[in-house]
Structure formats: C-alpha cells, structure tokens
Amino acid sequence: MKKNTQPTTSHPKSTPKKNNYQLKASIWSSKTGIYALLALFCLALYGNTIPNNFSLDDELVTWNHPLVSQGIKALPKIFTSPYVEVSGNAGTLIFGYRPMAKATFALEHSLTGGNPHVSHFINLLLYIGLAFLLYRILERLFKKFHYSFALIATLIFLAHPTHTEVVASLKNREELMALLGALGGLWYLIQYAESQHLKYLFFALFSFFLGYLSKSSVMPFLAIYPLSLWMFTDMNKRKIILISALSLLVLLIAQLGPAIFLPDTIRPNALIENPLFFEKSLLRRTATGFTGLFHYLKLMFWPHPLLFYYGYDTFPIVDWTHPKALVSLLMHLMILGIAMVNFKKRPVLAYGILFYLVGIAMYSNILVPVVGIVGDRFTFVASIGFAIAITWLIYFISHTQLEADKALLRLPTKTMVLSLVLLLPYTVQTIARNKDWKDLETLYRADIKYLPRSVKANTQYAGNLLFNTYQAMQAANRPPKKTIIDEMIHHYQLSLQILPTYYDALTGLGTIYSTLLGEHKKAIPYFEAAIQSDSNNVAGYINLAYVWRQLNDNRKAKFYYHKVLQKDSTKVKAYFKLAEIYFDERNVEKAVALNLLATRFDPYTDVPYLNIGNYHLLSKDTTKAVEWYEKAVEKQPNHELCMKLYMHYTRKGDAAKAAYYKKMAEETKSVVSVPAR
C-alpha cells in the first residue's frame, strides 16, 4: 500500500461559492484559539456536573472507600490491592486491578477531604485534556486536510451524549484515564514514526501501560495502533509488527503481573448481569451479541434513552431467526464492506469505520460476555471512529474540499449546517443528561421508566427507596407514606415477574413488610423463598430469625440463629441475639457462654462483657455485674459506663477506684463507642 498519500474525495475541486465562509486565519484557526474553543466547549458540555454529588458506584473508588479515605498514605496499598475486595452476607468478592483512578481520589482526599465537587471538576479537566490530545492526534494523522476536519471530528466526539456516563460519573474516571493513556501511546507512536527516536517508542508503551492500569478498555488499541501507523505514516511493515508485539507484551505484563501479589479472583457470574454467561450455544451467543451491536449503532445516531444499567432481561437471548439480529448482521457487514472497498480510495472513511468496529468489538458479548450486557460507557473508544467517519460523510455530502488552503476557513454553509445538525442536539442532550447524574436517587428516578425489563435496575431502585425511607422514618419517628411503600413494592414485583427467584427482590419485599410495616407474617414467605433461592446467604436466616422473634416464637428464632452460625460462625451479632433469647428463657449459663464465644471472632468488642454484666445486674448480683463492666471498659472505655463505675465505687467508699474511673470517664467523654459487627 502506498503510504502518506493525500486523501481524496469523489468530488472534483471547485471554486468556492460567494456564500462560502472565507475568513482569514485568525485566533480561532491558531493552535491557541482551537485549544480555547475546545476547552470552552467542554466547559459548556460538562460544567453543570461540578455541583453534582456522589452517584452510582462511586463508593468503589471515592471518599468512603476504606483505602481512598486514608489519603496519600494509602497509595502503596492501593497499588498492591484488588479493585474490589468486599465481604458480606452474600460472600466475598475479589476482582480486578485498576489502581490509577483510586490513586487520584486518595490524593484528592488528602487535599480536599473527598469533596465531590472538586472531583467532578477534575473529571472535567481530564476531559479537556482528552480533547486537546485527540485533536492533535487527528491533526497529525490527517495532516493533508484542512485543520477544520480534525476540529469538527473532535467536537462531535466531545459532544456525544453517551460520554455522560464517563464524565459525570466519578467512578468512571477510570475510563477517562484509560483513554488518555491509550491516546498518549498513539501520539508518541506518531512521534516515533516521524523521528525514529526510540525514546518516543518507550513513552508510547509506558503510556499504554498506564492506560491499562486505569482500565482494560484500552485493549482495542492493540489493533488501532498498527492500523493508524499503516494507513497514515511511512513506517515499514516490520516495525509495525514489532510495535504490535511490544504493545501486546506490555498488556500481558499489566494484566498478569499483578497476579503475583494479588489474591485469587472471586467473581461469580450472575444471571442478572448477563445470561450469556450460561449460554452454551455459539449461534445464540452471536445472535444475541449482534442485537447488542445494533443497540450501540443506534446510540451513535440516536442516543436516547441513556440508562445507568441494562442487564437481564433487557436484551433476551435470541437465535438467528430474530429480525434484529439479522438486520444488525447485515448492517455491520455492509459498513465493514464499505471500509474494505474504500481502504485505499478513501482511507479516512475506512479508518473511521474500522476504528469504530475495533473499539466496539470487545463489548459484543460474542467472545466474552460483558457485565450488564450493554452499557453507554462501552461506546467511549468506538465513538472516536464514529466521529471520524461521520465528519468525512459531512464533508462528502457538502462537497467540501478536504485539502483546502489551510490559511482560509472555506466551509460552505451546507457543511456548517450538517455539522450543527449533530452538534446542537448532542450538546443539548448532554447538558440535560448531566443533571440526571446529580446523585443516585435522581439517576434512578430519571431512568427507571425506561427499564421495565431490567431485574437489577428495578431492584436497585426499590432498594434505594427502601434505604432512604427507613433512614427518614428513623429520623422523623413516623411511618412512611403509602405512595412510597407502593412504589417500592411495585418495582420489586416487576423484578420478580421476570425472575421469581431473585434473592435481593425477595429480601427487599420481606424487609418492607417486617421493618417498615411491622407485618411480620407477610414477610415470612418472602424470606423463606429467599433462602430457597440462595441457601448460603446468611442474611436470609437472620431475617427469618428476626421476624420469628418479633412474633414471640423463640423456638423458630433460635433455629434460624443457629442456622446463621452453622453457615458463618463469625457472625457475632447472632451470638448476642441467641444469648438474649436464652436469657429470656432464664438459661443464664447458656447466654453467658454464647457471649464469650463471640469474643473469639471480635476480641476488641465490649458488647459480650456488657451483656453479661447486665445479666448479673438484672439478677440483682451487683458485685458480679461490676466485675464484667470493668472488663468491658478495659476493652473499650465508655464514658457512661465509667461514670456508673465511678458512682458505684464512690458509694462503696473506694476512693482510689472512684478516682480511676472518674479520670477514665473524663478522658472518654468525646469518644463514641463502636458497635459490634
């Protein structure tokens, strides 16, 4: 293939018409002017995200993350820890390695205390940096073209509404940083192609490495790098192959290297995230995958509605008799064919199409199922290719000379209008969509009406309502509104209509009846069904033990608390609840033994000693009670308890001990005791 040739269009050059814009090069055609325009455009698009708060999944990387909240001192641990490492009633999750975004949030926490508005501003700055870098790359790749081509392509990319999930979501800063790293690699590879200085090759590989440490979404650049170098530089084939091999080696190091110090991955595949995890038929997987690809193609041209989550059953598994799968296959074969036919004649069009296809391929679900089935953020890399191809199409339709004099901005009215046909609605929708990301509740309310078939989305929405309602009920000490209760029940039932065995929805409904409404008998069937759905999740047994205790059936309450301890002997609260029941049954010896057993799993808690002290006090054995209370304050000094001990020894006439506990009470006056886990 002949390299570095001037791209052409199918239209002959023509003299510009009188109504063409003929503006001499000004500040807006200078580098400074273009950078100012790009920065102002990004500010117009995403400036309204700065007042936003934390939202979906931000807890994974922001202020309340156990490492991030430690600030700068946690950086070594962040770079040697998994992306997610949590334990709960449903078990343990350990997976991923994405330290870069976490590191930035840790630095922010040290400087600002984890202020979400500062974090949103930094996301905006990263997006502006991405705008500058992308424009410079496109300008260098298409250096035979008028600067306006690279500028319009960059503006279309920046304005695309699917990017709101990346920029307006703090958790998705990792996508911003990953693309910055990948594009940084491409920039340095172009520098290397033109200068042959090895330092640029090193910089390129290192930038790609940092991008991968942000997120694996840089993987398409394994194909984009050689494609770009082959089509738009004079680099020979052997060097391009070498660069491809080195890029793959860097990716393998970034992917496999952390396995040396990370714990084993624990990440069960879930039906609600993607049913294709369990689909064995390759034909059905590919057909379903192409329905997802159809969705992405549609989002490029018509990005509405944009949704926070899809999952089961928004894209049901289909076979090749499904019309959407067949239409999608034909459409993708057609655009691939257009790219191949125009590979030499119209390389920019071909490049844009191939960039899009390569960028979206890893999210097709055909080779590897993707969590959520589809996602708006998954279009981030691919939308660069779309922006390039659609800009070429705008110039082609408007008969604009791509190779126009760089000193003049000769854009016909038709070109400007066609560009604005995309840019204006994209801009309006992006600005409007940012408001949905204000906080978690706002996001859920904005999207849920478009997600009647998403089990997880409806359950998350109802769960968020349940949490907020319970908090408000506790604060105001009044029952929740019936309309809110009805809405929660409606969305939990929507989930169960699609997946009747879904544990979280069953548990949520049971919690509404038991905790919010006090209708414990109505809660029992839901909690029992939840246990049948997931017999290893101890929360189900805890819930049943609670409702039977509220119904004064101690026999069944004890049965389920014992079940909890059979499943997980470290659940110290279950020991305390069981001990409470045995004490009510006047089995003090058993109650004491259970409290002491709990100390094996939480040696720092004072709760068992307080409980045993209370048992003796209720049994009118003050001496024994005081002994256990003293053990309690040894574990966790407590102002109120120390004052009681001070008054006890004052009455006894033991001045030394009274003084000791008075001093301890003063020292612990502002200390809040930590409840048992």
pLDDT digits (tens, 9 = 90+) for 112-163: 988 999 999 999 999 999 999 999 999 999 988 887 899 999 999 999 999 9
Which pLDDT score, from 0 to 100, does residue 336 have?
Answer: 98
Which pLDDT score, from 0 to 100, does residue 670 have?
Answer: 66
Is 499 in contact with 312 (CB distance < 8 Å)?
yes
Which of these three, 517, 552, 568, is where a domain ends? Answer: 568
**629 located within any domain:** yes
Which pLDDT score, from 0 to 100, does residue 436 have?
Answer: 98
Which pLDDT score, from 0 to 100, does residue 404 have?
Answer: 56
Residue 547: which domain range? Answer: 454-568
Both 35 and 99 in one domain: the answer is yes
**R_g over Cα of the chain:** 31
Which pLDDT score, from 0 to 100, does residue 405 have?
Answer: 55
Which pLDDT score, from 0 to 100, does residue 409 have?
Answer: 54
Both 516 and 374 in one domain: the answer is no
Looking up residue 552, the CATH number of its domain turns out to be: 1.25.40.10
**664 located within any domain:** yes
Both 28 and 152 in one domain: the answer is yes
* CA dihedral angle for residue 434, residue 439, residue 442, residue 443, rounded to 10 degrees: 60
Which of these three, 514, 536, 568, is where a domain ends? Answer: 568
Is 384 in contact with 157 (CB distance < 8 Å)?
yes
Strand, helix or coil at 3? coil
Angle ∠(159,160,163) on CA atoms, nearest 5: 105
Using the 8-state DSSP alphabet, how is residue 29 labeled?
G
**Cα gap 265→257, rounded to integer Å:** 14
Which pLDDT score, from 0 to 100, does residue 328 have?
Answer: 98
**437 located within any domain:** no
**336 located within any domain:** yes
Both 251 and 355 in one domain: the answer is yes
Positive/negative CA dihedral, 318, 324, 326, 331: negative
Both 337 and 322 in one domain: the answer is yes
Question: Cis omega (within 30 of 0) on the bond before 234?
Answer: no
* Residue carrying structure tokens 């379903």: 288
**639 located within any domain:** yes
Both 402 and 480 in one domain: the answer is no
Which pLDDT score, from 0 to 100, does residue 353 have?
Answer: 98
Q: Which of 522, 491, 519 is nearest to 504 (CA)?
A: 491
Both 526 and 624 in one domain: the answer is no
Query: What's the structural domain count of the chain?
Result: 3
Q: Which of 78, 93, 43 is nearest to 174 (CA)?
A: 78
Which residues in the chain come in under a pLDDT of 70? 1-29, 404-411, 670-677
pLDDT digits (tens, 9 = 90+) for 565-611: 999 999 999 999 999 999 999 999 999 999 999 999 988 899 999 99
Which pLDDT score, from 0 to 100, does residue 17 have?
Answer: 43
DSSP string, 223-265: HHHHHHHHHHS---HHHHHHHHHHHHHHHHHHHHGGGGTSPPP
**273 located within any domain:** yes
Both 179 and 290 in one domain: the answer is yes
**Cα gap 467→515, rounded to integer Å:** 11
Q: Which long-range contacts (CB under 8 A, 24 or more apart) does 30-35 make?
A: 34/135, 34/147, 34/151, 35/132
Average pLDDT for the chain: 91
Both 327 and 393 in one domain: the answer is yes
Is 54 in contact with 63 (CB distance < 8 Å)?
yes
Which pLDDT score, from 0 to 100, does residue 410 have?
Answer: 59
**441 located within any domain:** no
Which of these three, 381, 396, 431, is where a domain ends? Answer: 431
**171 located within any domain:** yes
Both 461 and 599 in one domain: the answer is no
Both 540 and 419 in one domain: the answer is no
Cα dist. 606→22, 410, 561, 574 in Å? 81, 78, 21, 16
H or E, element range at 85 = strand 84-88
Both 120 and 190 in one domain: the answer is yes
Which pLDDT score, from 0 to 100, does residue 89 have?
Answer: 72
